[in-house]
A = this chain, B = another copy of it.
């Protein structure tokens, strides 16, 4: 019999609530012969306040043994900005070499978008996850004085760019439209821009069936609101990916339904799956959070581990559920989870 050995990090704010529903749906969809084992970890603001720790070497060791990680949300206003982000979220992405940050955007029927005319939206962003301006390179001199200078260094390597570009081409090749767009700012960030553009063009030669194009990140934000249907797969750097995937989430139904995977395709370390939204402390504990983004992250997790049929079942259940939601009274976090669990089981 098979087993799925899952590390669960509910985290802060609404993280607890949405992860509970994600696990509910996971249990309901898994085949009978798969033994689900979960181990919960208490990372986040509470642990930080209690111990000063965000993510220790021992923690990383403990996480390593799992098939995958499911995360709710990390972050709380009581913790200074950057402490949990750099000390936990980014530390984990870097330690486990999560270089493919996968963020699909699909506007499902019945879902509200801020855009007029209900456009067709169905694309996926492959965001690089371990380089760019996220490395923590840089520093400050003369801090707090009028002569302070602070730098941030974006680090881009051929190795790091090529592996994520290859992943994106493979994904584009596997989709019906077979189109890949590189998003960068190569007219200003010419050093990194040339590297990205050259690697992109080199790998493109191996994928003659994939249509490619390039747009600057500023123009990409325009297309995301005026013509999102032009996108199929987007590959981009860590910071540009951060920015455009929030916008992509906003136009395709909001962060209540945006899922993501922090993937290490080699399998050397477990990949991590999490909703794009944050911990939303203002609505925590009230049963108001929409668990859909977490449930869709569970689908990405299952697909990553080879449970394709189960991933599709979750996605179809979410589609059906959202399609019926319009006009209905608002449901609680667990009511939505229950409804989805019933659908995937049935």
List the B side residues contacting A133 at CB < 8 Å: 133, 152, 154, 188-189
* Nearest-CB residue, chain B, relative to A190: B82
How far is B221's CA from A191's CA once the two chains are assembled, in angstroms?
Answer: 26
* A186 smallest CB distance to B (angstroms): 5
* Nearest-CB residue, chain B, relative to A224: B247
List the B side residues contacting A117 at CB < 8 Å: 116
The 0/1 profile, CB within 8 Å of B marked 1, for residues 106-144 of chain A is 000000011111000000000000000110111110111
| Residue pair A154, B138 in contact (C-beta under 8 Å) | yes
- Number of contacting residues on A, CB 8 A? 69
How far is B140's CA from A189's CA once the two chains are assembled, in angstroms?
Answer: 11
| Residue pair B250, A226 in contact (C-beta under 8 Å) | yes
| Residue pair A139, B221 in contact (C-beta under 8 Å) | no
With contact pairs A145-B158, A186-B82 given, residues A150 and B192 touching in the complex (Cβ less than 8 Å)? yes
Q: Tell me if A53 counts as interface (CB < 8 A to partner B).
A: no
Q: Tell me if A193 counts as interface (CB < 8 A to partner B).
A: yes
* A190 smallest CB distance to B (angstroms): 4
Q: Tell me if A222 counts as interface (CB < 8 A to partner B).
A: yes
How far is B239's CA from A55's CA once the two chains are assembled, in angstroms?
Answer: 31
How far is B153's CA from A189's CA once the two chains are assembled, in angstroms?
Answer: 9
Q: Tell me if A316 counts as interface (CB < 8 A to partner B).
A: no
* A300 smallest CB distance to B (angstroms): 20
Q: Tell me if A149 counts as interface (CB < 8 A to partner B).
A: yes
* A218 smallest CB distance to B (angstroms): 4
List the B side residues contacting A156 at CB < 8 Å: 149-152
| Residue pair A152, B192 in contact (C-beta under 8 Å) | yes
With contact pairs A114-B226, A154-B152, A246-B222 given, residues A81 and B186 touching in the complex (Cβ less than 8 Å)? yes
- Not counting A136-B190, A222-B246, A222-B250, a sample of 19 additional A-B residue pairs whose C-beta atoms are within 8 angstroms of each other reads A81-B193, A82-B187, A85-B187, A85-B188, A86-B187, A114-B115, A114-B225, A133-B133, A137-B151, A138-B154, A140-B194, A146-B162, A148-B157, A154-B154, A185-B239, A218-B246, A221-B247, A222-B247, A247-B247
A residues neighboring B (CB under 8 Å): 81-82, 85-86, 90, 113-117, 133-134, 136-140, 142-159, 162, 185-195, 197-198, 217-219, 221-222, 224-226, 239, 242-247, 249-251, 254-255
Ranked nearest first, the 9 interchain pairs of A and B with the lowest CB-CB distance are A218-B246, A221-B247, A148-B158, A152-B154, A150-B191, A150-B195, A85-B187, A222-B250, A82-B190
Q: What are 30 A-B residue pairs whose CB atoms fall within 8 Å in the complex? A: A81-B197, A82-B186, A114-B115, A114-B226, A133-B189, A136-B190, A138-B154, A139-B191, A140-B191, A140-B195, A142-B158, A146-B158, A148-B157, A148-B195, A149-B158, A150-B192, A151-B154, A151-B155, A151-B191, A152-B154, A152-B156, A218-B242, A218-B245, A218-B246, A221-B246, A222-B247, A222-B249, A222-B250, A222-B255, A224-B247
